[in-house]
């Protein structure tokens, strides 16, 4: 414990500082087990000691680790809830990553699979689970399979590791949908209650953690909470992976200290490649914001998200692309990705998407109805899908207000049919 943060070379004048905790430098391809152990050392756990387990959960609490899957729930609370159960629990590492704009989980597993697997097996040791199920995107399944084989050959894990290919679809990555996929082969959210910490896979207490969260857990297990808190803010310590896409010189996945400004994140990607009219922060359940200088100077993790980190996505949206048309396209996609289990998803989201498409296409649109529906569906869904979709559309109507007025007058300030936001092509999964 007490090691200094792993940083890249000192920044040159005008260059943004890089944090190097999770990703192994600039090497490409997955880090081997030997290279991983050389970089991080062995992770020591003591499954047989209840004292070790209780103290390590307290250390995670002192670190202030929040989940990196989108909900930002305190990791120590999830661990404690499962640890307190009297039944043998189940641990799931979630790398479904159904968010089309996000690549962070895939990049992490493609480059540092053993750090994630360290965290997964540490979580199993902490809560007393005998096995771990890794649910991973098909793009990285071969890398994870190979890494598991490396670990099996050396016998370094007490818990057995099973790898499952994630289901396709936006809601498939929601925690209860992942449990349903592993348990029943249906990637749709489960009704609540009970909590998954009480009854999940096979009716057992189940811990579901995003894979980036598990990687941070493995680092806390090695270096402790004081080391972890050397990066980030007092309220939200540590680093996070951000997928930077859109109008930037070098789109990609970057690691930043929580509390870094939007301008800092953009600088890591070489800066904007065009004039920006807006930013989408947090992914497709995130928040649209003006692209002005006041936004660039604000902390990325707090922009419209409260204490949440969202999916760790920042989209740089350039001038010359129609925000209304882009929002209509995204509203239709989110409506098509619901589980169809409740009224807000079955009726509300398609109706909102229809009015947005009418507005974008220059047809009469009932925007007063759309605004009312956006307010009415919040908090009424079987899961968080309608809330996330409504938040994104509501913020878009605010940020692109002038463009909305243009379209209501039968005009578009950025004609040409260009789109910026990535969406899955049909049949791609």
Kindly report, residue by residue over 184-214, the tens digit of the pLDDT.
Answer: 999 998 876 678 888 889 999 999 999 999 9
Whether residues 196 and 105 share a domain: the answer is yes
Whether residues 336 and 383 share a domain: the answer is yes
Q: Is residue 427 part of a domain?
A: no
- pLDDT at residue 2 is higher than 60: no
Whether residues 79 and 222 share a domain: the answer is yes
Are 150 and 156 a contacting pair, CB within 8 Å? no
Q: Is residue 19 part of a domain?
A: no
Between helices 349-360 and 323-336, what is the axis angle to 10°?
Answer: 150
Whether residues 101 and 193 share a domain: the answer is yes
CB burial readout 400-417, b (16+ within 10 A) else e: beebbebbeeeebbbeee
Average pLDDT in the chain: 88
Last residue within a domain, chosen from 199, 228, 257: 228
Per-residue pLDDT at 242: 93
To the nearest whole percent, how much of the chain has pLDDT over 70? 90
* DSSP β-ladder status, 160-165 and 131-136: parallel
Whether residues 307 and 369 share a domain: the answer is no
- Kindly give, in sequence order, each residue whose CB lies less than 8 Å from that of residue 171, ignoring residues fewer than 6 positions away: 98, 177, 187, 188, 189, 337, 338, 339, 383, 385
pTM of the complete model beyond 0.85: yes
Kindly report, residue by residue over 211-231, the tens digit of the pLDDT.
Answer: 999 999 999 999 999 999 999
Range of the domain at 94: 33-228
110: domain CATH number is 3.40.50.11540
Give residue for tokens 């760790």: 312
**How far is it, in rounded angstroms, from Cα 114 to Cα 127?**
20
pLDDT confidence tier of residue 26, bands split at 50, 70 and 90: low
pLDDT confidence tier of residue 93, bands split at 50, 70 and 90: very high
List the Cα angle 94/95/98 in 5-degree steps: 110
C-alpha 409 chain-centroid distance: 38
Give residue for tokens 């092509």: 425
Q: List the single range of 41-50, 114-123, 211-220, 324-333 with lowest mean pLDDT.
A: 41-50
- Mapping DSSP onto H, E and C, the string for the chain reads CCCCCCECCCCCCCCCCCECCCCCCCCCCCCCHHHHHHHHCCCCCCCCCHHHHHHHHHHHHHHCCECCCCCCCEHHHHHHHHHCCCCCCEEEEEECCCCCCCCHHHHHHHHCHHHHHHHHHHHHHHHCCCEEEEEECHHHHHHHHHHHHHHHHHCCCCCEEEEEECCCCHHHHCHHHHHHHHHHCCCCCCCCCCCCCCCCHHHCCEEEEEHHHHHHHHHHHHHHHHHHCCCECCCCECEEEEEEEECECCCEEEEEECCCEHHHHHHHCCCECCCEEEEEECCCCCEEEECCHHHHCCEHHHCCCCCCCCCCEEEEEECCCCHHHHHHHHHHHHHHCCCCCCHHHHHHHHHHHHHHHHHHCCCCCCHHHHHHHHHHHCCCCCCCHHHHHHHHHHHHHHHCHHHHHHHHCCCCCCCCCCCCCCCCCCCCC
Q: Which of 380, 377, 332 is nearest to 355 (CA)?
A: 332
To the nearest whole percent, how much of the chain has pLDDT over 90? 65
Per-residue pLDDT at 193: 67
Per-residue pLDDT at 11: 37
Per-residue pLDDT at 234: 87
Last residue within a domain, chosen from 291, 318, 345: 318
Whether residues 304 and 327 share a domain: the answer is no
Whether residues 252 and 217 share a domain: the answer is no
**How far is it, in rounded angstroms, from Cα 42 to Cα 50?**
21
Beta bridge partners of 74: 66
Whether residues 59 and 198 share a domain: the answer is yes
Number of domains in the chain: 3
Q: Is residue 54 part of a domain?
A: yes
Kindly report, residue by residue over 276-332, the tens digit of the pLDDT.
Answer: 999 998 889 888 988 876 677 777 666 544 434 678 899 999 999 999 999 999 999
Per-residue pLDDT at 420: 87
Whether residues 83 and 191 share a domain: the answer is yes
Kindly report, residue by residue over 244-266, the tens digit of the pLDDT.
Answer: 999 999 999 999 998 888 889 99
- pLDDT at residue 69 is higher than 80: yes
Per-residue pLDDT at 429: 42
**How far is it, in rounded angstroms, from Cα 3 to Cα 414?**
51
HSE (side-chain half, CA atoms, 13 Å) at 405: 4
């Amino acid at each position: 414990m007490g090691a200094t943060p792993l940083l890249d070379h000192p920044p040159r004048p005008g260059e943004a500082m890089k944090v190097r905790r999770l990703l192994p430098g600039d090497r490409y391809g997955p880090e081997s087990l030997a290279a991983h152990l050389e970089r991080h050392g062995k992770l020591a756990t003591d499954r047989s000691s209840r004292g070790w387990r209780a103290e390590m959960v307290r250390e995670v609490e002192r670190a202030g680790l929040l989940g990196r899957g989108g909900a930002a729930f305190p990791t120590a609370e999830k661990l404690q809830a499962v640890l307190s159960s009297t039944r043998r629990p189940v641990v799931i590492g979630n790398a479904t990553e159904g968010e089309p704009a996000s690549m962070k989980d895939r990049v992490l597993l493609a480059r540092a699979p053993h750090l994630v697997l360290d965290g997964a097996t540490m979580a199993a040791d902490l809560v007393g689970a005998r096995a771990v199920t890794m649910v991973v995107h098909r793009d990285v399944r071969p890398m994870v399979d190979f890494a598991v084989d490396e670990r099996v050959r050396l016998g370094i894990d007490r818990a057995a590791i099973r790898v499952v290919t994630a289901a396709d679809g936006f809601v498939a990555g929601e925690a209860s949908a992942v449990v349903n996929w592993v348990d029943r082969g249906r990637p749709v959210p489960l009704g609540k209650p009970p909590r998954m910490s009480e009854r999940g896979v096979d009716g057992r207490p189940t811990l579901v953690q995003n894979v980036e969260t598990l990687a941070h857990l493995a680092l806390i297990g090695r270096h402790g909470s004081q080391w972890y808190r050397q990066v980030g803010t007092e309220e939200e310590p540590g680093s996070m992976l951000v997928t930077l896409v859109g109008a930037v010189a070098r789109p990609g996945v970057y690691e930043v200290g929580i509390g870094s400004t939007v301008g800092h994140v953009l600088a890591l990607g070489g800066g904007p490649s065009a004039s920006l009219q807006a930013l989408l922060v947090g992914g497709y359940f995130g928040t649209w914001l003006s692209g002005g200088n006041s936004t660039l100077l604000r902390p990325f993790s707090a922009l419209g998200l409260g204490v949440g980190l969202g999916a760790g996505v920042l989209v740089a949206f350039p001038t010359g692309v129609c925000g209304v048309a882009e929002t209509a396209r995204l509203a239709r996609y989110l409506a098509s990705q619901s589980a169809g289990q409740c009224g807000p998803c079955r009726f509300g989201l398609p109706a909102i998407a229809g009015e947005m498409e009418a507005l974008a296409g220059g047809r009469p649109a009932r925007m007063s109805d759309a605004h009312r529906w956006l307010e009415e569906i919040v908090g009424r869904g079987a899961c968080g899908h309608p809330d996330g979709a409504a938040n994104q559309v509501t913020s878009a109507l605010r940020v692109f207000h002038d463009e909305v007025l243009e379209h209501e007058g039968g005009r578009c300030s950025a004609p040409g049919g260009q789109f910026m936001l990535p969406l899955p092509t049909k049949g791609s999964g």
